[in-house]
Structure 1
Amino acid sequence: MGLPIYFLALFAILIIFVVTVIVYFQIFNRHVNKALGTTEGKRISMVPPYKVTIVMTILVLLIGIFISYNAGYVNAYKDYEEDAWVMSASDIQTFYAEVKEVGEKSILVDGISLNDENYRGEFQYDVWGEVNIYRQDAVIRLSELSEGDLISITLVTDRTGFTDIFKIQLLADKE
């Protein structure tokens, strides 16, 4: 793994800065020596080297800040994108419940005592079109569930912390 490209760009900018300042110092010294050697004629004034150094330092700092900001943004975004689709075991939870009430686009359930403490009690969920409801291997509609049905609900938590229903499975039909 080599150096990141932005380190190389920053290094190149620093080299350009140093070379520019050195060359300007050389030109300024020649100009001063030439001006001291000849007293006749007009002299062209040059900007003192310390002013050029200050301006170049400010430019290098601004460019460095710009490169650092972009490099940080790119790396952070890349890390976020890599982690966004990685799921852990704690991101998927399944619990068992008894259906209490079925609405047009919602379901009220009561978690059974076999569940973890977090999934006991009553819960109401909105059920949208992308949630699949299964009876054995066949997909069914929400309206086919009725009060008293035993179901398993699989929840998925995304990276933002939002939990939603992934799947509902009807466990046993009433006879």
Structure 2
Amino acid sequence: MGFPIYIFALFAILIILVATVIVYFQVYKRHVNKALETADGKRTSMAPPYRVAIVMSIIVLLIGILISYFAGYANAYKEHQEEEDAWVMSHSDIQTFYAEVKEVGEKSLSVDGISLTDENYRGEFHYDVWGEVTIYRQDAVIPLTDLSEGDLVSITLLTDRTGHTNIFKIQLLVDEE
């Protein structure tokens, strides 16, 4: 992350303020010296330097407030976009593979990926199945105990933003008669 550009802008405005006040002091000093040298009585009046410094400070304060407002708005908008992007899922976050049930435990399931699936999902896998995992036979929800050794299932996995993968859904594949 680079240095924020609005800090440069605020620093530049402060430099302009200081330079303006210094130049005005020099002009005012020259004006006073010229007025003292000439005693003819006619001279133009200039605002005292402290008033110029006060006005310039107020201007810098207002500009600083505006820069802070827009910088805060930009950062908040950027963070809001990042939060929204965290909830958007890509196609690679959801994977489905087909497997044959090898063993069904009380809260666990061992499967063997069949040859029709992606190479990453071939072989034996063991999953803990908790209450949030839904198991379906066609459109009906069934308990884990209804699965038995040799059943064909499709397992849908969901990968979260931290890279942790959990079972989202198990579908028992049955032949329609």
1:100 aligned to which of 102, 120, 137: 102
Within a 5 Å distance, the mapping from 1:85-164 to structure 2 comes to: 85-164=87-166
Q: Deviations over 1:104-123 (max 9, x none)?
A: 22211111121111111100
Q: May I ask how many residue pairs the two structures share in their alignment? A: 147
Flag the 1:155–1:85 CA change in 2: closer, same or farther, 3 A: same
Q: Where in structure 2 are there 5+ consecutive unaligned residues?
A: 38-48, 50-63
Q: Please give the alpha-carbon distance, in whole angstroms, between the structure 2 residues aligned to 1:20 and 1:170.
A: 76
Flag the 1:75–1:160 CA change in 2: closer, same or farther, 3 A: farther
2:28 aligned to which of 22, 27, 30: 30
Radius of gyration: which is bigger?
2
Q: Which moved more, 1:145-154 or 1:68-77?
A: 68-77
What SS class does the counterpart of residue 123 from structure 1 fall into?
Answer: strand
Q: Please give the root-mean-square deviation of Cα atoms over the aligned residues, in Å.
A: 4.1
Q: Percent identity?
A: 57
Q: Where in structure 1 are there 5+ consecutive unaligned residues?
A: 1-5, 39-45, 47-62
Q: Deviations over 1:65-84 (max 9, x none)?
A: x9699678545523422322
TM-score by structure 2 length? 0.62
Give, in angstroms, the shift of residue 30 of structure 1. 2.0
Q: Is the 8 A contact 2:100 2:112 kept in 1?
A: yes
TM-score by structure 1 length? 0.63
Residue matched to 1:18: 16
